[in-house]
Structure 1
Amino acid sequence: MPVYSMTGYASGQNSPAGSHPEAEPRAHATPRLGVEIRSVNSRFLDLTFKLPEELRQHEPALREMLTAKLKRGKVELRAAIDSGAASGIGDPSTKLLQRLNAVQDHIKAWLPDARDLSVADVLRLAAGDSVAKGDWAADLTDVTEKALKDLLSAREREGGRLARMLQDHLAQLRALATQALPLVPQLVEQQRTRFLERWQEAMGLSGGTPPEAAQDRALTEATAFAIRIDVAEELTRLNSHLDEIERLVKKGGEIGKRLDFLIQELHREANTLGSKSATLELTRIGVDMKVLIEQMREQVQNIE
């Protein structure tokens, strides 16, 4: 199953099948329906609809359509109807002209000083009448389905890019963990030798074998130091989290929340490793790990 991002954009446009059955054919002024869907990251599925009054009644159907395909993200759907008046001048139907004339006569009977309708008024009202009479239900469903399909494709492409980035960062974190693992035994051995040398100097035995008590004390100090700086447990848990993240990325689907939790756990282990660091090399590894984990955290926020 693919990994989906919550970020994406898609749009679609169409003409209604029967926008104005009463009007004569108009080649240059056909109303068109446009739909845009924008999506960004969010903890939950947050849908917003911006529809003209003519399409407001279709919001429940649109909500059901989006909910069936999207699980997380802040999603905004915009729809608009373009009357097409800007692309040409259409001919109003005879029936519409008769109706406008009758309405004008009725109004002037009560308001004799009312202004007569101009040609521009008639064309504007004709365009509005064409839009209002359009049966947009089938076209709205068709255009939204196409836009939603394009949105899912865009989110899948972005999700694939995020998955590849995560895989690359996982490999780098494993390499850093591999570098850190042998550093602790080496450091413990160095510290043990240093303790023995100090005990030798303190007891004036720099050229001979230290007494049993001095050697035991040195070994005790070295053991306590080893316990303080031991990061084997942190590295084991870190590798376990890396394995789980890799499994989830390969599985795909709705993995964003689970990945977010695992990234927090990775950050915790990297912080502990840094606090136990006793060498510049181990400190460098801890810092590099935290940089990679922070980059992963930012990208995981966009995964559905």
Structure 2
Amino acid sequence: MTYSMTAFARKEQSYDFGTLQIEIKSVNQRYLEPTFRLHETLRPVEMKLREALKQKVKRGKLEVTVRFHVATGEQALDIDEARLNAVTRVLDKIQARVDNTSAINPMELLQYPGVLIDAELDVEQVHAELISLFGEALDDFLAGRQREGAVLADAIKERLDGITEIVAGIRAEVPEWVATFRENLREKAQNLGVELDADRLEQEVVLLAQKADVAEELDRLDGHVKECRGILKQKGAIGRKLDFLMQEFNREANTLGSKSTKESITRHAVQLKVLIEQMREQVQNIE
């Protein structure tokens, strides 16, 4: 199963106590790097949300935003004494160090996150509903990653088909390539006025053919294609495996190009590198 590292999900639900809204978005990242933006009332459940995320997502830079809008009405309001004391202690330190500070405005203190609370708000219920809604948002997010991942996998498979076709084409040209060695040697010998006997000619052809032998590179390319198709069927995070395999593909294509003395095979090697680079770009987005 192939998952993309880029996706977006949004979930919103209204309750008697208010409205919860969750957004999850992600982009490429070598490791898992989640960032949470939560309403102060929801901070106590952040670790549970992180754990739920880590169980299902392995790579990517994620940004999770949770908005909480308390239902309007005639709710009884109260003050979080601990929060207010913490804020005032900080303000007292500032006033002790800075001269001519203005008087503290009580209304500004009430606006500080977490100071003013709804006395009738069942915080445990809010937290429970948030955890449930986050699970739904995470499922939507993963479904989006899977859809995008399927598109990436199809694009990679299309390039793998291209590589298989090119490798088969090169194999078909190898006999002609050896025949070209023989003809080139004859022409050079004639131009130099040197007469080569049949045995000597064949020895030289064999030596040149050995230096330019690409059978091993072609076999490895076929092996890499098979391995890549196998990885795409695996579960879990496969992006790093594919990234390493792209390096192996490149190594064989480079060697193939360096050994080539035939224009058409050099052209095939260039086409291989183009397809490998296109795959590598797709792989960067896979978890």
Q: Same fold (TM over 0.5)?
A: yes
Match of 1:5 in 2: 4
Aligned to 2:25: 38
Larger radius of gyration: 1
Deviations 1:214-259 (A, max 9, x none): x444333322221222211101001001011111213343222111
> Per-residue deviation at 1:78?
1.0
- Range with greater deviation from structure 2 (31-40 or 286-295): 31-40
2:286 aligned with 1:298: no
Q: 2:222 aligns with which of 239, 243, 246?
A: 239
- Residues 169-248 of structure 1: pairs in structure 2 closer than 5 A: 169-203=159-193, 210=195, 212=197, 215-248=198-231
CA contact (8 A) 1:15 1:139 kept: no
Q: State the distance in 2 between where 1:11 and 1:211 align.
A: 78
CA RMSD of aligned residues (A): 3.0
Q: CA deviation at 1:115?
A: 10
Q: Deviations over 1:65-99 (max 9, x none)?
A: 11111122222211112346xxxxx5435x559xx
How many residue pairs get matched?
258
Question: Is contact 2:12–2:20 with CA below 8 Å preserved after alignment?
Answer: yes
Structure 2: state its 5+ residue gaps: 79-103, 111-115
1:76 matched to 2:66: no
Counterpart Cα distance in 2 of 1:218 and 1:131: 99
TM-score (norm 2): 0.80
Name the SS for the 1:193 alignment partner.
Answer: helix
Separation in 2, partners of 1:63, 1:237: 42
- Return the match for 2:74 from 92, 95, 112: 92
Report what 1:256 is aligned to: 239
Match of 2:144 among 154, 165, 180: 154
Counterparts in 2 of 1:132 and 1:245: CA distance versus 1, 3 Å: farther
AA partner of residue 7 (structure 1) = T
Distance 2:201 2:174 in 1: 18
Once residues 266 and 73 of structure 2 are traced to their aligned partners in structure 1, the CA distance between those partners, rounded to angstroms, is 78
Partners of 2:234 and 2:28 in 1: CA distance: 21
Q: Write out per-residue CA displacement over residues 109-133 of structure 1, whole angstroms, 9 at most, x where no aligned residue.
A: xxxxx9999xxxx9xxxxx644993
2:99: which partner in 1? none
Mapping of 1:95-134 within 5 angstroms? 129-130=117-118, 133-134=121-122
Partner amino acid, structure 2, of 1:64: E
SS of the residue 2:11 aligns to:
strand
Deviations 1:168-212 (A, max 9, x none): 1111110011111122321221221221233244337xxxxx563
5+ residue gaps, structure 1: 20-30, 85-89, 98-113, 123-127, 205-209
CA distance in 2, matches of 1:116, 1:253: 53
Partner of 2:9, secondary structure, is strand
**Which is strand-richer, 1 or 2?**
2
